[in-house]
Amino acid sequence: MGYMSGVLASMLGIVFVAFMIATIGYLLGAIEIKGISLGTAGVLLAALIYGVIVSKHPELYMGESYIVLFDDAIKAKFSLISSIGTALFVTSVGLIAGPKFFRNFNKATMSFVYMGVIVIAIGSAITLAFILLDKNLEPGMAVGLMTGALTSTPGLSAAKEVAAGAEDLVTAGYGIAYLYGVLGVVFFVQIMPKILKVDMDEERAKLVAVNAQAASSFKQKVRKIEPFGFFPFFFAIAIGCILGAFKIPGINFSLGNSGGCLVAGLIVGHFGHLGGIDLRIEKNTLNFMRELGLVLFLIGAGVPGGVNFVNSVRISYFIYGIVMTTVPMLIGYFLATKVFKIDLLNSLGSITGGMTSTPALGALIATAGTDEVAGAYAATYPVALVCVVIMAKVLLMLS
């Protein structure tokens, strides 16, 4: 009997669960309806479903039947998976965009900065309106819904720091709004090109024309430490974690690992060498790391999100979350295309950055057939990240 219990615990352990979620998620993501599919975001759906099920049956997690130990295990282990996945994904995005990012950063690309501010400002205004209109809506729940709708884990962390005694409400709100926050943007970036009936080859050509730059060259001889590109990749992550740890006094703001790794990836990708050491990485390696990071992030964020999903759920909260995701996305897209005159793929890239949506960028890259869209995401994301962290704290302090 003891032997069988050990086998069960092993089968239901973190390694088995994570890879089984990924397996089922990819099967779900492969289902295509009229050219629209979840893609890698299918992993998120599988993770959320598992989180909901296991919250009712904790014995399905490592054979553990004690809910207190279950909660601790979920938070600790899946948080680690999410953190590793985030670091891998955003560092890859930074390294891909880095060689062209700073060379292309001019007056025209300031539009991406404005997009980051605008999208978060609209989401924050909607959140404040719901707090004022619905007297039964706790500010902690409202801000949690906002961070979930905008898929911002750093925003969630910042809100929990301020929400003294209401941390569980913030987390529950995040879990409730997160599913639509992810899937809404994932579907949006796939649907818009179909609605507009655009020629994707033509749009890709426009994108390449906007982002075209000569490849950087080195005047000095450089050598690789190892053949696979792991050294520069891990070096960028380490630097990113250091950058992310610095806090701005007063507002207690930091980039966190996600923002820090993105910035570090951009810098390492831009310079491409450290003294005589070659820091360039093959595109195939970066694509692999990006996809692996995305999957780990979705598993790590999705399972706890599914657990929190059932804690304080109400129909009205679903609706609030849907509005907080949809309205900033639609207004942002309108402004990007009509006011800032940004081409379609860069507009969608800036939307994924403004919504701080890691999975949506993955879906957009697949839809566009080029990772050039990562440039718009990389330009918009840091600004949106800073804004959502600040606004999460401001809304709770004002409420």
In the chain, how many domains are there?
A: 1
Residue 9 located in a structural domain: yes
Segments of the chain with pLDDT less than 50: 1, 63-70, 214-215
Neighbours of 45 (CB within 10 A): 21
Within-domain flag for 225: no
For residue 223, the 8-state DSSP code is: B
Q: Is residue 223 part of a domain?
A: no
Residue 326 within a domain: yes
Is 369 within the bounds of a domain? yes
In a domain, 314, yes or no: yes
In a domain, 259, yes or no: no
Q: How far apart are CA 377 and CA 372, in angstroms?
A: 10
Q: Which amino acid is at 63?
A: G
- How far, CA to CA in Å, does 249 sit from each of 51, 252, 253, 254? 37, 5, 7, 9
Confirm whether 356 is domain-assigned: yes
The label of the residue with tokens 């890691």 reads 358
Q: Which residue's structure tokens are 């975001």?
A: 41
Distance (Å) of CA 4 to CA 7, 9, 69, 295, 346: 5, 9, 21, 31, 54
The residue range of the domain holding 149 is 2-216+283-398
Tokens 């390449």: give the residue.
208
Read off the pLDDT of residues 105-130 as tens digits, 9 standing for 90 and up: 666 678 888 999 999 999 999 999 99
